[in-house]
Amino acid sequence: MLDLRNVLQQAQKNGVAVGHFNVADFVILKAVFASAQELKVPVIIGVSEGEREFLGVRQIAALVRSLREEFDLPIFLNADHTHSLVKAIEAAQAGFDAIVFDLSPLPIEENVRQTKAAVEALKAISPAILIEGEIGDIGTGSEIHDAAPDLSKGLTTPEEAKQYVDATGVDILAPAVGNMHGMLKSMVQGEARKRLDLARISQIKSATGALITLHGGSGTDDEDLRKAIAAGINIVHMNTELRVAWRRGLEESLAKQPQEVVPYKILPVVVEAVKQVATSRLKLFNKLT
């Protein structure tokens, strides 16, 4: 089985991106796994600090490992948006494949200093682990926002990206390129889409040569996503779209069976709803449509 670094290099060579989906329960994990298995594509499962707290760090690591071993599928686990070295070490010790070490709210010099130290500490625990660093402002919260935050001042420049990657030794960079965490109401209703700064992505790619992640992919224009992948994006994060599907599926299932109390009779509808979203996104990222 290839490790995550090899899978990402292979994706880069093929001009495709690896889908990263956050999970907060077994229903979403089951849906994402089923999509990846059907399409025969690699996939990354992401868990934020909040999602890890709910699921258990070692418990989600054991679940993902069991799927990888039993089904021989390249499914990987990422500790998404980790804001302290203590939490990052916990994930590395539990066997995670990657960690997003996110000190982007700090001044850049402090972000560089602490990220460099974290890269050294985490590689000492697990030499194959991939560390992703973040610069710029892409907002917070994979949820539905009333209004768009002004992120225009927090866009990542190619110069700053190169300095950051060289100085910290991160394996993967998460820049701010017009992307944003969460979705606006208008995006959930399908009336608006996020647009990306494609020229900036190309410039950051050629300046750094690094692997690049696009966070906050939910609600992004399909054509922009295709072009962003062609411009050098290697991983695309999706969370809010799955959460919206999860909630809609659950409401629909409960409404259809008002007397039902058996979880495994209620939840397959939710798995299916989430799986549909994951499948359409994985097809796009892997050029299968």
Q: How far is the CB of 40 from Zn ion (least distance, A)?
A: 26
Q: How far is CA 262 from CA 164, 253, 257, 265, 268, in A?
A: 51, 12, 10, 5, 11
Quote the tokens at residue 21: 């989906």
Question: Which of these, 211, 271, 174, 149, lies nearest to 11 by C-alpha position?
Answer: 211
Least Å distance between CB 106 and Zn ion? 16
Q: How far is the CB of 180 from Zn ion (least distance, A)?
A: 10
243 binds Zn ion (CB under 5 A): no
Kindly state the smallest distance separating residue 46's Cβ from Zn ion, in Å.
8
Q: Which is nearer to Zn ion, 52 or 215 (CB)?
A: 215
Considering only residues 174 to 203 of the shown chain, the ones binding Zn ion according to CB under 5 A are none
Nearer to Zn ion, 216 or 249 (CB): 216
Q: Which is nearer to Zn ion, 137 or 253 (CB)?
A: 137
- Which residue sits closest to Zn ion, CB atoms considered? 215
CB of 237 to Zn ion, least distance (A): 5
- Kindly state the smallest distance separating residue 179's Cβ from Zn ion, in Å: 9
| Residue nearer to Zn ion on the CB measure, 64 or 236 | 236
**What is the x/- site pattern for Zn ion, positions 39-68, by CB under 5 A?**
------------------------------
From CA 255, how far away is CA 251, in angstroms rounded? 6
Nearest to 81 by CA among 69, 99, 95: 99
Residue 221: exposure state from Cβ atoms within 10 A (0-12, 13-18, ≥19):
middle
**Between residues 205 and 237, which has the closer beta carbon with respect to Zn ion?**
237
Query: Rounded to an integer, what is the distance from CA 216 to the centroid of its chain?
Result: 8
Residue closer to Zn ion (CB basis): 82 or 253: 82
What burial class does residue 71 get, using C-beta atoms within 10 Å of its C-beta: 0-12 exposed, 13-18 middle, 19+ buried? exposed
Binding-site member from 215, 243, 275, 281 for Zn ion (CB under 5 A): 215
Beta-carbon contacts of residue 109 (< 8 Å; ≥ 6 apart): none
User: Residue 145 or 215: which CB sits closer to Zn ion?
Assistant: 215
**Closer to Zn ion by Cβ: residue 49 or 160:** 49
Q: How many residues make contact with Zn ion (CB under 5 A)? A: 1
What minimum distance in Å lies between the beta carbon of 263 and Zn ion?
29
Least spacing, CB of residue 216 vs Zn ion, in Å: 6
With CB under 5 A as the contact rule, which of the stretches 37-45, 50-58, 66-74, 212-220 interacts with Zn ion?
A: 212-220
Q: Which residues bind Zn ion (CB under 5 A)?
A: 215
